[in-house]
Amino acid sequence: MASTEFDLIARYFEHQSVNRRDVALAIGDDCALLSVPTGSHLAVSTDSLVAGTHFLADADPALIAHKALASNLSDLAAMGATPAWVSLALTMPEPNEAWLSQFCEGFFALAEYFNVQLIGGDTTKGPLSITLTVHGFVPEGKALTRAGANSGDWIYVTGNLGDSAAGLAILLNEVTVEDDALRNTLLERHFKAHPRILAGQALIGIASAALDISDGLISDLGHILKRSQVSAVIDVDKLPLSDELLTFESDRQKAQQLALTSGEEYELCFTVPEENRGAVDTSLAHSGVKVTCIGQLRPGQGIQLTQNDKLLDWQLHGFDHFAE
């Protein structure tokens, strides 16, 4: 007997180990019913991943699931929010149980790590794509937005930058890497980003603005600059580069350019007023996340790249799906 849509949903999505007390009704009715804590704002973000655009259709389903959920949770991290629930709209050409099983494995592993409960969604027939909507909580008036930065604030990033672009280049066979360990490490950096949830929460009350790096530092930082009406100066020699990236790309200038434009990093970029600089290190110590100051905000518009206090004229572009 053929699997029906409802059987599929029931079998793969109704059973999960996360059962939150703030979920009064989860999957199986017309809506989920949920409780938001008093004094908290609900933070909501939606992301779509489409086969052929965001991943190759034959990619490991567990990695696709991880990437989809990690990128979505990263938006909560960028607001300083605590994750709570996620809904999943899954469109696939046919009810492929082997694929679904692996997808669920990757999805629920990450969901369980962050205590996120799947509260519903939709399973439909069509070209492969995944749309997630995550929900989290953040104390009212405390969320890290893009609009709060001021001239003089320092610019920070978490982790290292550029590894995701290197992994993508390997994945797309644009480059050949002989060293299997290096190859696998960079591929994993591309696929298995770790959302900076703890770091985001720790930055509440300290950072003046924040976002996550999904389209490339240059492109994303531009959103803070536009919303906050400031410009930025970045010292390219301060960009945090992994040893693996510098092995992959031994030309340091090219590695720095990768770090500036690499999308899907899911590191946080945030700004900090002078008086809070000391608090950054202490508050992030428990999260185990490296942070690096890469520049400073100024009056005016745009981004200036410098090296040894000299202005660079690198022409770089962030990632944009519809740009020509």
Binding-site residue numbers are: 30, 45-47, 54, 75, 121-122, 146, 212, 214-215, 264, 319
What is the contact mask toward its own copies in residues 196 to 225, using x (rule: CB under 8 A)?
Answer: --------------xxx-------------
Annotated binding site for substrate: 54, 264, 319
**Contact between 271 and 209 (Cβ < 8 Å):** yes
Q: Hey, what amino acid is at 63?
A: L
- Element (DSSP H or E) covering residue 110: helix 97-113
To 10 degrees, what angle do helices 97-113 and 61-79 make? 30
CB of 100 or CB of 165, closer to its own copies:
100
Residue 123: CB minimum distance to its own copies, A: 8
Residue 95: CB minimum distance to its own copies, A: 5
Cα–Cα distances in Å, from 185 out to 1, 29, 245? 43, 42, 10
User: Which residues partner with 92 through β-bridges?
Assistant: 125
Q: State the number of CA atoms in the 13 A half-sphere of 273 facing the CB.
A: 9
Nearest to 308, CA basis, from 259, 252, 238, 232? 238
Single out the segment in contact with its own copies by CB under 8 A; choices: 29-37, 150-158, 175-183, 272-280: 29-37
Q: Which long-range contacts (CB under 8 A, 24 or more apart) does 179-187 make?
A: 179/247, 182/244, 182/247, 182/248, 185/244, 186/244, 186/245, 186/248
Task: Check binding of 238 to its own copies (CB under 8 A).
Answer: no
Task: Check binding of 89 to its own copies (CB under 8 A).
Answer: yes
Residue 158: CB minimum distance to its own copies, A: 14
Q: Tokens in use for 82?
A: 């605590």
Task: Check binding of 75 to its own copies (CB under 8 A).
Answer: yes
Annotated binding site for Mg(2+): 30, 45-47, 75, 122, 212, 215
Residue 244: CB minimum distance to its own copies, A: 27
What is the contact mask toward its own copies in residues 138 to 177, using x (rule: CB under 8 A)?
Answer: x-x--x-xxx------------------------------
Q: Tokens in use for 10?
A: 């029931």
Residue 323: CB minimum distance to its own copies, A: 5
Cα–Cα distances in Å, from 140 out to 38, 85, 106, 134, 243? 9, 18, 32, 18, 40
CB of 58 or CB of 309, closer to its own copies:
58
By residue count, the chain amounts to 324
How many residues belong to the site for its own copies (CB under 8 A)?
A: 73
What is the contact mask toward its own copies in residues 50 to 69, using x (rule: CB under 8 A)?
Answer: xxxxx---------------
Which residue is listed with tokens 């099983």? 101
Task: Check binding of 97 to its own copies (CB under 8 A).
Answer: no
Task: Check binding of 2 to its own copies (CB under 8 A).
Answer: yes
CB of 227 or CB of 238, closer to its own copies:
227
Applying CB under 8 A, among 109, 127, 253, 300 the residue interacting with its own copies is: 127
Annotated binding site for ATP: 121-122, 146, 214
Please give the full DSSP string across 242-310, using - where no structure is assigned: -HHHHHH---HHHHHHHHHH--S---EEEEE-GGGHHHHHHHHGGGT--EEEEEEEESSSSEEEEETTE
CB of 96 or CB of 276, closer to its own copies:
96
